[in-house]
Amino acid sequence: MDAILALEDGKIYRGKSFGAAGESYGEAVFNTSMSGYQEILTDPSYKGQIVTMTYPLIGNYGSNEEDAESCKPHVEGFVVKEYSKIASNWRSQDSLNEYLKGNNVPGIEGIDTRNLTLHIREKGAMKAVLSAIDTDEKSLVKKAKESQGLIGVDLVKDVISKKIYEWNDKGKYKVAAIDCGVKFNMLRELANRNCHVIVVPAGASAKDILDLKVDGVLLSNGPGDPAALPYIVKSVQDLIGKVPIFGICLGHQMLGQAFGGKTFKLKFGHHGANHPVKDMKTGRVAITVQNHGFCVDIDTLNKKEIELTHMNLNDGTLEGMRHRRLPVFSVQFHPEASPGPHDAKYLFNEFIILMKSYN
């Protein structure tokens, strides 16, 4: 079945449909990872986005339940040069095609993903529509232009659990993970470090969280525009100084705003497993996993209160910060590293040390 990816600027890509045969809307972005497509599909931070994989062959090891980062895929659409008709791996439980079909995610293959990636790099991420139903190019471009987009939209409410739940039932340190679209591997990393992890939905008040008698708080990743989440920022402000806090990705952006900073939209975002980040204290460079389209503006932070700890070596944007007096730190990248390298996992150990010294 034919399929079309249409961008709001009028650019058209024709290919073949795979996965669910439908129509979907989202911001078109690209991810430079060579593997880990199931983790990408199930990352809640991709809600509202149509993801293009730059690696040409995707799907060769199939899919399985263990690699999921949430209960289901959250991408609006999936774009590849070629999807593998053969899934060959001892852990494979289903093909990529069947996995997408079963989760109602439309895909398109057979397009020039290199051209699409270069177009997004030059023009910036933009609204798009992927369709195997409507084949009228003018109609699709119009739909893309009129679609919602990401700016000013709260997508967190669409991906979170509405109830408090325990990830595991024991551990030396009790940690509240504020779920803005949390990835399972963040919870696994904490549990592996002797933490009793309780997942709390975004929107819970500071009182709700402190009433759990926790030793620390993890602010998770999540989708959309951080400036559209003042209710989460308010809870974070009320938590600062009362308990150790570790923010990751959207959690980092929430802390940035809680400290009085502003966020802005990147031209095409950072999506992939090969982003170099420099630790400003040690000079060490880590290869990191990233997935974000917004960033904290360095110039809006109070440097007397906030220490800049990590910088992106590709574009000089802020990748980490720490409060100079209070037990609070955060990073923009993903130290849980699934998919991708393990260079940044030490940050979970730093969170444990912080809780140990504070309590």
Q: Catalytic residues, which ones?
A: 249, 334, 336
CB neighbours of 336 closer than 8 A, spacing ≥ 6? 183, 185, 186, 188, 189, 248, 345, 348
Residue 261 contacts residue 300 (beta carbons within 8 Å): yes
| 8 A C-beta contact, residue 224 and residue 154 | yes
Contact indicator for 79, 108 with CB cutoff of 8 Å: yes
Q: Which amino acid is at 119?
A: H
Strands 2-7 and 82-83: unpaired
Cis peptide before 244 (omega within 30 of 0): no
Sheet-wide strand order for 306-312: 165-166, 195-201, 173-179, 216-219, 245-248, 328-331, 318-323, 306-312, 263-279, 285-296
User: Cα dist. 9→25, 26, 51, 81, 125 in Å?
Assistant: 14, 14, 17, 21, 11
One-letter identity of residue 298: I
Q: Which helix (H) or strand (E) holds 356?
A: helix 346-358
Pair of tokens at residue 99: 């996995």
Calpha distance 238→245 (Å, rounded):
12
Phi then psi dihedrals of residue 74, to 5 deg: -120, -10
